Structure 1
Amino acid sequence: MYLNVHSHYSLRYGTMSVKTLVEEAKARGITQMVITDINNSTGVMEFMRECRKENIKPIGGMEFRRDKKLLYIGIARNREGMKELNDFLSYHNLEQKELPDKPWAFENAYVIYPFDQKTDMTSFVANEYMGVRFDELHQFYNRESKHPNKLVVLQPVFMSSKVGYRLHEYLRGIDLNTLITMVEAEDKCRETDLFLKPGELETKFVKYAFILDNTRRLMDSCVMDYPEGKMKLNRKTFTGNTKDDKALLEKLAMEGMLYRYGPKNREAIKRLKKELKVIVDLNFCAYFLITNDIIQYSMRRGYYHVGRGSGANSIVAYCLRITDVDPIELDLYFERFLNAERTSPPDFDIDYSWDEREDVQDYIFKRYGREHTALLGTMSTFKDRSVIREIGKVMGLPKSEIDGFTDLSKATENRANDTFKKIMTIFELMGKMPNQRSIHAGGVLISEEPITYYTALDLPPKGMPTVQWDMYEAEDIGYDKYDILSQRGIGHIKEAVKLVEQNQGKTIDIHQVKDFMRDPNLNERLKTGNTIGCFYIESPAMRQLLTKLVCDNYLTLVAASSIIRPGVAQSGMMKTYIQNFHAPDQVTYLHPVMEQQLKETFGVMVYQEDVIKVCIHYGGMDGTDADILRRGMSGKYRSRVEFDRLVEKFHEGSKVLGRPEQVTNEVWRQVSSFAGYSFSKAHSASFAVESYQSLYLKTYYPIEFMVGVLNNYGGFYTRWLYVHELRRAGATVHLPCVNHSSSVVSIKGTDAYLGFVGIQGLEGKFMELIPEERRLNGDYLDLEDFLRRTEIGLEQVVILIRCGALRFTGKSKKTLLWDVHAMLGQKAKPNNHAELFHIKAKHYEMPDLVNTRLEDSYHELELLGFPLTLSMFDLLKTAYRGDIRTKELGRYVGQMVRMVGLYVCEKTVHTKNNKKMWFGTFLDADGNFFDTTHFPNSTPVYPFRGTGCYLILGKVVEDFGFPSIEVVKFAKLEIQGNPVMDS
C-alpha cells in the first residue's frame, strides 16, 4: 500500500538510505512498494537491486514538486513507464522550464494527484488517480465518493522513527537556511509519514476497502521488467555490427603497430594479437573504437591529448595513439588493464587542455546522439566538518560558539559540552547522507539504449545533460565510462608550442618524446631539479626527490612519479628506494626471481605491476589471477573467499616451483604490505612523458614556455613566482599597458607584457574591450582618447593608472590621476551616439607630480599581488641579505648559518606524536631556491607569517646530496613604509 516512499536521495528531505528503506519494509512484512524520490530517479536502479535481494517487488516512480509544492506522483507500470517519467523530468530540467500543473499524457505510467475536494475527477483519464491520506478520510464521512475507482491510498514515507523525524527537521532547516523552530509545516513532512506497523494502514482504511482494492490493483499491474543482474549498457558496436567492429579494430591496430614499431617487431605483433583476442572475447571492441574515434577527432582539430591510466598497459591503445606509453619498453602488463576475470570496467583517462575539453565533449554528444550520451554525475555528502557549522546555525547558536565547536584544538573540552554532543549526534546521522548532486570530473556515458531508461537528466552549469547518479552506481548498473579530463599542464604545452611558432616562426613536433628522453640538456635540467612550471615535477618535494635520485633518465623519472605519492612516502618505501638507488650492490634480494623482477626498482615494489610480476614469476600465477590478487590486496576484492583462494594459489604455485616455504612467507609478507601503497606504472609513465615535453619547452624555449604557464593559470606556485621565472628565462617583463597588453601575457621577441587578467578590481569586460578596441582602431593617443573610446568609468581607469597601464602618455601617475578626476569627476550623462564634432578638453599647466619607485611598488603589490618595479628584497628596511646564498650551502653542511629568504610556500605535516611540523621553500637574493625544515620544538615560537622576506637561522643538513636548513629561529623582516600612507 506504499505508493510514495522516499529515500535519502530526496535531498535534504528523506532520511533513509535505499538499503535501510528496504530493510525497514521487510521488517514490516511489506511485499511491494514504490520509490518516489522528489524530482529525481537517482535511487531507482539501486532500489530494484535491494528489493530483489529481499524478495520485495520493486516499483519505480517519482514525486514531482514545484517550489516545494507537491504536484503529482508518477508511478511506472514497466521500464517504458520509467523512461516516460525520466523523459518528462529531463525535458523540463534541460529546457529549464517549470513543471506544469498536469504532466504529459503517459502511456505506461500512472499519475497520482494529492487529495483535493475541489478537483473534478470526471476529467481524469484511465491512468490518473487521487491519493487519499488516512487523516483525510474524515472528509468522506457520511458521503459517497462520486468516483470511488479513482481513489488510492497515499501514505508517504520519509523516515523510520521519531529520531528520523528530528533529523528530517534539521535537514529542512539546512536546506531553507533557517532556524529549526522557523521551519513551517508546509516545508516539512508530517510526523506520521513513515511505515506503519503491519496491518495498521489497512485498519485505518477498513471502512473504505474499495480504496485499498484500487491501490492493490494498481501496484499489482506494475512490473519493473528490467533484466536482473549486471547489464552491459554501453553502446555495443561502433560500426553497426560486432563482426565489422572486430575487423576494423584489427586493421587500425595493425596500421598503428607499423607506425609505432615498424614491420618486423615480432614481440609487438605477438602481444598485439594476444590483446586483440582478449578485447574481442570480452566484447570491448566498440569501447576501443569509440575511444579511438574521439582521439582522431581531437587530433584533426589540432588538440593535444595525453592518454593515461591503466589503459597505458595496452599495446593496442599505444598503436591507436590513445596513449604515448610503450608497454613493451616499460614491461607493462595488459592484465592490469583488462583480463577475462575483471568485473569492474576498464577505462582510459584522456587529458586535454582545459580550454579544449568541452569541444571534445560536444563532439561526443553530437556524434553519438543526445538520447544516448550524458555526463556522469557525482553525489556530495554531509561528511565535511563544515556541516557542524550548518547544524549550529539551524540550532540558533551564536557564531562565536560555533567557531569554538569547529576548532580542532578545543576537541577535548568540547567533548564534555552537551550542546556539542547533540551537534555531533546529528552530524553522525547525516555523515554519509547525500547532500547535493554535482558533475563528475570528466566521465561520459555512451549508451546503447536511450539513457533515460535508467535515469532522469540534470543540467548543471556546464550545460550538458548529466545523469542523476555517480560512477559507482553507473558501474553497478552496467556502464563503462569514458573519462574526458582536463589539466593545466597540457594547456602550458599547447600554448607554448603556439607561441614559439608566433614569436620565432618555428614549428615544433611536441610528440617526439623518445628524442626528448635522450637529450642530455633535458636530463641535466631534470637531475638538478630546475623544473619550475613543468607538469608534475615542479613541487618542492618533487624537485628534492629528483636531486636526491640524480634523476637523468625516463625510467628513474617514472619511478620518482610513483614514490612521491603520500602513501608510498609515509610507508617508508620512498626512503628505502633512495637508499637502494645509491647502493644497488648492497640490496639483498630474497630469491633470484625477486632480483630478476625487481632489479629495475632496486628491490622495492614501487608499482602495482611489480606486485603482478612477483605473483606471476615467483608464485606461478597467470596474469589474470595475479591482477585480481593485486586488487584484493588494495581492498578491492569481490569476495573474501575468492581472495583467500588466490592467496592459497600463490603459496601452492610457489611450492610447485620449488620455492623455500620460509622465503615464500617473507615474499608474501612484502607483497601484501607493498600492494596497498603501490601505484600504477602506466599512470607514472604517462605523467613522465608529459613532464619531458614540458622540460623540452622550458629548456629550448623558456620565455614562450613560462608565458604559456602564466596564461594557463600557473601550476603549483603562485603567479609571482612564474613571473620571476620568466625574467630568469631572459624576458624583459613589463607592467600592463593599454597600448601593448592583451587580456593575458603577451610576448614579442624577449619583451613580455603582463595582461589585464590579474589586475585586482578590474572588470572582466575591460580586460577584453581595451585590446579589442586598440586592434580595431589603432593605439590610444592620450588619456582623453582612451576615455572616449572605451567609455571606462572613473573607478576602473584609476586602477589602470595606479598599476602603470597608462604610462605611454609620458605623464606621472599623480598627474594622470589629477587629469582623470578633472575629466570624469563631474558625472555627466553618457554620450551613446556618434559625435558630430569632437571638441578637445581644455588643458591646464600643473606642477610636476612625481611618483617614486617605492610608491609604484606599493601600487603593484596592491593591484597585482607582487611588485615588479622593485623586488621584495629591495623593499626591505635592511640591506642585509644573509651570510651565505643557496649556491654555497653545500660548503656549510653541519654548520649554523643565517640566510635571508623570500617566502615561496610551506607544507604542514603531522609527526607520529600528532604534532605539527613544516617544510618551507624560499628564494635567496640571487633568485635561487632553498628549503627549510621546521620541527615542532621551534616553529610554534617562530611561526610563518605569510608572504615576505624572512631572516633564518639554522643548521645546514644534507640528504643524498640535497642541502637544506633545519631552522632554529626565523622571523619576518620589515619592509619600508608606504610613502603615500606615511605622508
Structure 2
Amino acid sequence: ERVSMPDFDIDFCVDRRGEVIDYVASKYGRDRVAQIITFDTLLARSAVRDAGRAMGISYGVCDATAKLISPELNMTIAKALEKEEKLKRLYSTEPEVRRLLDMASKLEGMPRNTSVHAAGVVLASGPVSDSVPLRISHDVVTTQYPMSVLESLGMLKIDFLGLRNLTIIENCLKRIGSNRPDMNSIPTDDAEVFRMMSEGSTSAVFQFESRGMRALIMKLKPSSIEDLTAAIALYRPGPMESIPVYLHNKNHPEEIRYDCPELEDILSVTYGCIVYQEQVMEIFRKLAGYTYGGADLVRRAMAKKKHDVMENERRRFIYGSDGSDGTPCRGAVASGVPEKVAETIFERMSAFASYAFNKSHAAAYAYLAYQTAYLKCHYFKEYMASVMSACLNGAGGKFMEYMNECRASGVSIIKPSVNESGVDFTAVPDGIRFGLSAVKNIGRAVVNDIISERENYGNYRSLRDFAVRTKKYGISRRMTESLIYAGAFDDLGLNRRQMLENLDTIVTVNSSVIEGQLDLFGGSGTENDIYVPDAPEYPYTELLAMEKEVTGIFMSGHPLEEYDYLVKLSRIPDTAEITEDPFGKYTDQSEVSVFGTVVAEKSHTTKKGDRMSFVTIEDTTGKIECVVFPDVWKNYGAKLKKESTVRITGKISEKDKGKNIIASAVFTADEFKNAALRRKLCISTTSKELKEAMSLLPPSEAGNIKVCFYLSDLRKIIAPQGELSVDLTREYYTELTAVFPPDKIAFI
C-alpha cells in the first residue's frame, strides 16, 4: 500500500556531515550516490532588480522600487501592489515603473541559478547515471533533477542534516574532559534538569528557547521525556489550540473524557488529546479496522487536504468497506462506536492532521533537548562556552541572551587575554573566558598563530614583546589595535590609553629584532625599553564602547547596569519580551514603555516639512524600533541623540514586519532615575505573613524611598507605623531580592 519510498531524515554533527556522505559513497559505491540539485528562484525583489538591469533602467529606480516590496516570506509583486500604497501609486503614474514591474512579474518564480541541496542525498541500486542525468558542481556530483522529480521516479532520498546542537554537545564533552558523562546512559528522570526547565531556564536548550515555548514548559512542569515530546508536538500551528486542554487534563486527569472507550488506550499518554500523527493512524486501525498502510494513506490525504479523498474515507471510517476497492475495513460503527461519535472523531482528526507532528521525530528532538538541558544543568560553564562559540561560527544572533544567562547564573564572562584565551570560549575556574577569534579583524588562522607562539615560547610579557614575536605571522597594526580595544592586553602593565596613544612607538620592530638578533639581555624588548608617559585611563563608558566596537558586546559591564534595578522595580519590560510576546500581552495599540540606549537614529522630513525620526533602542536583550512623529519630536527630539540612554513611552504598532513603538514621550536616564526614586517601594505579602515580611526586610539607613506592603488577601496597601524608609541602591536591591522574589517587589 505504500505509494512512495520512506522518508529518512538523519541529523549529524555539522563538522562531520561530510564524513557521513563519504562513508555512504564508499559503502554503496560512488557511482550509486549523488547529492541533489536545487534551483534558486527569483523572488520579487531580485526579479525587479534583474529585470531593470536587463532593460537598462537606472539603478536608482530599480533599487527604490525593489525596496517598496516587503522582504517577508512568500511576498510577490502582486501582493506588494495590493499592500503598499506608494508602490501602487508609482505603478499607476510612472510608465517606467509599470514596465519594470510587468516584466519582473513574468520573471518572478523562475529559476535563477543552481545550488546543492543542503541535506539531500540520493541512493540508487545501480549507477545513478542510469536513471537520471548528473552534473559536477565544485567537485560535487549532483543530479540534474530536483528532489520532487527524484521522489516521483521512486528513488530513495536521504536527508543528512547538519544539526549544530549535536556539534555543541560534542564540543561541550571535549571541554569537560576526562569526567565527561556518557550521553547514551545519562539518567532520563533527573529531577534537577526538569526543575530547571520548569522554572523557565531554557535559554540554550534545544527546541525550548523561544519565549512561547518557555511559557508552555513553565505551565506544563515536565517530569519526563514524554512530556517534552508532547510539548514539541503541541507547540505548532493547529495543535497549539489544544494546549489549554492538554494542560488542564494533565493537572486534572479525573476530568478526562473520551468519546469512546477504545480511545483511552490511544490517547491516555497525551491526556485525551490527539497530539501525534501516529495516534491518528492508530485510531483508524483500532476503531475502523484499517491496515497500517491504509491508515498512513488517509493521514497523508488529510495532511494535504485532499477533500475528495477525505470525503470517501469519511464513509469508509464510519461505515466500513466491503473490499471491492481492494482494501476492506469494518468501519467504526461495526466496532460499536455510535455513528454521531464516529463522525465527531473523524472531524477532529481531519482538522488536526494537516498540522500534526510525528511522534518519532518529536521524541528524537525531545531526547536531544533533554541532553542539552542535562549538560546545561550539570556542566553549565562548559556547555555555555560551547554554545557561545557556536554563535561565533554562524549559529545566530542570540549571543547577548546567552551572556545575560551566564551573568544571571553568577558566571562571569572574562575579557579576552593574549596569554589566557583560546581560539573559542573556554571554561575556566573564574567563569568563561572570551575567545580571541571572537574579536573583530582577527581571523582564526591568526589566532592559531598567536596561541601556538605562546604555547611554544611562553606567555607574552608586554605589548612590545607580542608585537616582536608575532610580526612574522603578519599581524597588522589594526589587529593589534582591535585586541587592545577588547582588553586583551589589560593585564600586561599599561592601560588602554597608554597603549593606543603610543602604539606606533611600542610596536615598531627594528630590523635586528626581525632578523632574530636579540638584545644583550636575551629579550625581545619590553615597554621598559621605551618611554611611555603616564596617562589616565579612558572613562568607563569609553572602555565599554571600545569593547562593543570589536566584540559586539559590552565586556566589562553594561551602560544600563546602574539603572537595571530601577527598570525592574518600574516593571518596564525588556525589548525581547515585547518583540517575542509569548503571552500576547503587547498587542496593537497597547501602552508600553522601554528603557535602553539609542543605537540608531534616522531623521526624516515629512511632506509638510516637519521633522520626525526612526529610533532604534537597544537593551541587554535586544532591539526595537520606535517611531517619533513630528508632534512628539518637537518636544523630545533633542533627547534622542545616538548613544544616549532614555526611557520611551508609547503604544505598540503591530504590522507585517513585526512590532515597533509609536512614541508619545521621551525621558533621559537622569529624569527616569529621579522620577523613580520619588516613588514608594511596595512589597507584596499577606496579612498573616506581614510581620515576618517586615522582619525580613534588609537593614538600611533611613533613606530616600518609603516602604509599604500590599496585602494580597485583603487587596489593600498599608504603610508601617513610623513611616519606614530605606536607602535604595543597586546593592540594596540585590539584598532585597535575596529575601523576596523579584515579582513581589515594585514601585507604586
Q: TM over 0.5: same fold? A: yes
Distance 1:596 1:900, change over 3 A: closer
User: Are 2:158 and 1:478 aligned?
Assistant: no
Q: Runs of 5+ in structure 2 lacking a partner?
A: 71-79, 320-330, 597-618, 634-639, 652-659, 671-748
Match of 2:103 among 415, 426, 433: 426
SS at match of 2:179: coil
After superposition, give the CA deviation of every residue in 1:130-174 in whole Å (9 maximum; x if it has no partner): xxxxxxxxxxxxxxxxxxxxxxxxxxxxxxxxxxxxxxxxxxxxx
Structure 1 segment 909-920 matched on structure 2, within 5 A: none
CA distances 1:459-480 after superposition (whole Å, capped 9, x unpaired): 445x532222222122122321
Which of these residues, 185, 196, 206, is aligned with residue 525 of structure 1?
196
Matches within 5 A, 1:598-613: 598-613=267-282
Does the residue aligned with 1:443 lie in a helix, a strand or coil? Answer: strand
Match for 2:493: what amino acid? G
Describe the shift of the 1:919–1:444 C-alpha distance in structure 2 as closer, same or farther (beyond 3 A).
Answer: farther
Contact 1:380 1:434 in 2 (8 A): yes
Distance in 1 separating the partners of 2:590 and 2:135: 45
> How far off is 1:646 after superposition?
3.5
SS at 1:677 equivalent: coil
Query: Pick from 553, 564, 567: which aligns with 2:235?
Result: 564
**What amino acid is aligned across from residue 355 of structure 2 in structure 1?**
Y
- 2:713 aligned residue: none
Corresponding residue to 2:246 among 562, 566, 577: 577
Q: Residue 370 of structure 1 aligns with which residue? A: 30
Q: 1:389 aligns with which of 42, 49, 72?
A: 49
Distance of 1:435 and 1:867 partners within structure 2: 42
Match of 2:436 among 731, 747, 756: 756
Q: Tell me the SS of whatever aligns to 2:92.
A: coil
Deviation digits for residues 748-797 of structure 1, max 9, x if unmatched?
A: 33442201222122234322221122122221122222112211221111
Output the CA distance in 1 between the equivalents of 2:643 and 2:338. 59
5 Å-filtered alignment, 1:626-645, equals 626-635=295-304, 645=312
- The amino acid across from 1:482 in the alignment is I
Contact 2:13 2:163 in 1 (8 A): yes
Alpha-carbon deviation of 1:594?
3.3
Deviation readout 1:429-470 (Å, 9 max, x if unpaired)? 334422221111222223332222344544445x53222222
Instruction: Write the letter of the residue equivalent to 2:266.
Output: Q
Matched to 2:213, the amino acid is: M
**Aligned twin of 2:565:** 881
State the match for 2:317 in structure 1. 650
**8 Å CA contact 1:545, 1:560 repeated in 2:** yes
**DSSP-derived class of the 1:562 partner:** helix
**Consecutive unaligned residues in structure 1, runs of 5 or more:** 1-340, 886-896, 956-965, 977-983
Q: C-alpha separation between the residues in 2 aligned to 1:862 and 1:613?
A: 58
* Paired amino acid for 1:468: Q
In 2, distance between residues paired with 1:478 and 1:636?
23
Match of 1:537 in 2: 208
Partner SS state of residue 723, structure 1: helix
Percent identity over the alignment? 25
Equivalent position to 2:390, from 688, 703, 712: 712
The whole-number CA distance in structure 1 between the counterparts of 2:290 and 2:152 is: 28
The answer as to 2:181 corresponding to 1:508 is: yes
1:379-426: CA deviation from partner (whole Å, max 9, x where unpaired): 222245432333234331453541464255335535635555544443
Distance change (3 Å), C-alpha of 1:476 and 1:510: same
Whether 1:732 and 2:386 are equivalent positions in the alignment is no
> Over residues 587-627 of structure 1, what are the superposed CA-to-partner deviations in whole Å (9 max), with x where a residue is unaligned?
55333333443233333322111211221222222221111
TM superposition shift of 1:972? 7.9
Match of 2:12, SS state, is: strand
CA shift, 1:948, in A, is 10
Larger radius of gyration: 1
Contact 1:619 1:650 in 2 (8 A): yes
- Please show how residues 777-816 of structure 1 align to structure 2 within 5 Å: 777-791=457-471, 792-816=475-499
Given that 2:12 and 2:162 are in contact with CA atoms closer than 8 Å, whether structure 1 keeps it comes out as yes
1:698 aligns with 2:698: no
Amino acid at match of 1:390: D
3-state DSSP class of the match of 2:156? coil
Q: Residue 362 of structure 2 aligns to a residue in which SS?
A: helix
CA-based RMSD of the aligned residues comes to 4.2
> SS state of the match for residue 787, structure 1?
helix
Q: Does 1:685 align with 2:348?
A: no
Partners of 1:480 and 1:694 in 2: CA distance: 32
Secondary structure at the aligned position of 1:441 is classed as: strand
How far apart are the structure 2 equivalents of 1:916 and 1:425?
37
Q: Which residue of 2 aligns with 1:446?
A: 123
CA–CA distance in structure 2, aligned partners of residues 678 and 699 of structure 1: 31
- Paired residue secondary structure (1:485): strand
2:572 and 2:3 mapped to 1: Cα distance?
A: 57
* Counterpart check, 1:435 vs 2:112: yes
* 8 Å Cα contact 1:906/1:919 also seen in 2: no
Change (3 A) 1:815 1:394: same
Q: Residue 465 in 1 paired to residue 148 in 2?
A: no
For 1:378 and 1:946, the matched residues in 2 are separated by 44
1:355 corresponds to 2:355: no
C-alpha displacement of 1:529: 1.6
Q: Is the 8 A contact 2:575 2:622 kept in 1?
A: no
State the one-letter code of the partner of 1:349: D
Corresponding residue for residue 740 of structure 2: none
Provide runs of 4+ in structure 1 moved above 6 Å. Answer: 827-832, 836-839, 914-923, 928-936, 944-950, 952-955, 966-973
Name the counterpart of 1:868: 555
TM-score between both structures, scaled by the size of structure 1: 0.54
Partner in structure 2 of residue 416 of structure 1: 92
> What aligned pairs does 1:961-980 form with structure 2 within 5 A after superposition?
none
Structure 2 distance, partners of 1:975, 1:634, is: 54
**CA positional deviation for 1:859:** 0.7
Deviation per residue, 1:719-751 (Å, 9 max, x gap): 122223233444332111111112111223344
1:760–1:864: 8 Å Cα contact kept in structure 2?
Answer: yes
Deviation of 1:706 (Å): 0.6
The answer on whether the counterparts of 1:899 and 1:952 sit within 8 Å (CA) in structure 2 is no
Match of 2:447 in 1: 767
Give distance in 2, aligned partners of 1:932 and 1:745: 25
Letter in structure 1 aligned against 2:166: I
Contact 1:739-1:808 at 8 Å conserved across structures: no
- Give the direction of change, closer, same or farther, for the CA distance of 1:954–1:670 in structure 2 (3 Å limit): farther
Please tell me whether the aligned partners of residues 33 and 128 of structure 2 are also in contact (alpha carbons under 8 angstroms): yes
Deviations 1:325-361 (A, max 9, x none): xxxxxxxxxxxxxxxx112211332212211212222
Report how far residue 920 of structure 1 moved.
12
Q: CA separation in 2, counterparts of 1:545 and 1:614?
A: 27
State which of 532, 543, 553 in structure 2 corresponds to 1:856: 543
Q: Which residue of 2 aligns with 1:498?
A: 174
Q: CA deviation at 1:973?
A: 7.1
User: What is the Cα deviation at residue 676 of structure 1?
Assistant: 0.5
- The 1:665–1:473 alpha-carbon spacing in structure 2 relative to 1, beyond 3 Å, is same
Aligned to 1:592: 261
SS in structure 2 at match of 1:374 = strand
The alpha-carbon deviation at position 808 of structure 1 amounts to: 2.8
The TM-score with structure 2 as length reference comes to 0.70
- Within 2, Cα distance between the matches of 1:664 and 1:593? 12
Partner of 1:399: 60
What's the counterpart of residue 733 of structure 2? none
Tell whether 2:620 aligns with 1:620: no
Corresponding position of 1:549: 220
Shift in Å at residue 499 of structure 1?
1.2
What code does the residue aligned with 2:215 have?
Q
Q: How far apart in 1 are the matches of 2:415 and 2:110?
A: 50
The SS at the match of 1:744 is: coil
Residue 665 (1) aligns with residue 353 (2):
no
